Structure formats: structure tokens, C-alpha cells
Amino acid sequence: MSHVLTTAQALTLWHDVALAMVRDDEPDLSVRQMSILLTIYLEAPPHTVRDLARKLGVSKPVITRALDTMGKLELVSRRRDEKDRRNVLIQRTVKGALYLERLADTIGKLSQKL
């Protein structure tokens, strides 16, 4: 059985999650960066800059800048595709997986309050 949130509940949940993210010690990611990170972790690999740009409807430089930031935070890593050296594969990291696991826990806990 699914629970459909009202508009107010959905916005309250988003607000509460955003507030929790601001208050914790985790890195602050933009909505674009979070979308990219979630795509990498929720959708089956392989992930390339080109594929992510197409999927999110943004330019390749936008993806590259976001990956630069997330790479410095060790949330993702990149390596050259051995099969096609023109491609760079974006890979999950343990730190990125733990970041999203903590985020999911926060969302779960806050959704219980609605």
C-alpha cells in the first residue's frame, strides 16, 4: 500500500531533509550534483559524462564541473574506459554509497513524522 503525500507534506519533507542536510557535517551538494549522484547510484552502470549529460538534459561541461566537485569529496571516481579510450567511466565509491545511505536514513526518519 502506497502513501501519497499532500502538497504540504511533500514540501515539508523536502524542507526538513534540506534543513537536516545543512545542519549535518556532510558536504552540501547542489540539486544538480545530487541528481547526478543519485543517477550514478540508482541506475545501472556504465555511466559516462556523455550519457549523464543526455539523461539530465545539460551540457557535458556542466556534468564535468559537478563530477570535479564530487570527485574532490570522494563521492565518485573516474577512470578511462579500456574498451573505448575516448570515454571516461564514472564509478561509485564507498564514501558516496555511505553518504547516500545516511541521506536515505534521514529521509526515512523524517517521513515517519508526517
Pairwise CA distance, residues 6 & 1, whole Å: 16
Predicted TM-score (pTM) of this structure: 0.90
- The answer to whether residue 1 scores a pLDDT higher than 60 is no
φ, ψ of residue 113 to 5 degrees: the values are -80, -10
Burial class (CB in 10 A: 0-12, 13-18, 19+), 3: exposed
Dihedral of alpha carbons 80, 84, 90, 93, sign: negative
pLDDT at residue 2, as a whole number: 65
pLDDT single digits (tens) 15-36: 999 999 999 988 999 999 999 9
Q: Which domains are assigned to the chain?
A: 29-103 (1.10.10.10)
Q: Output Rg (C-alpha) for the chain, integer angstroms.
A: 16
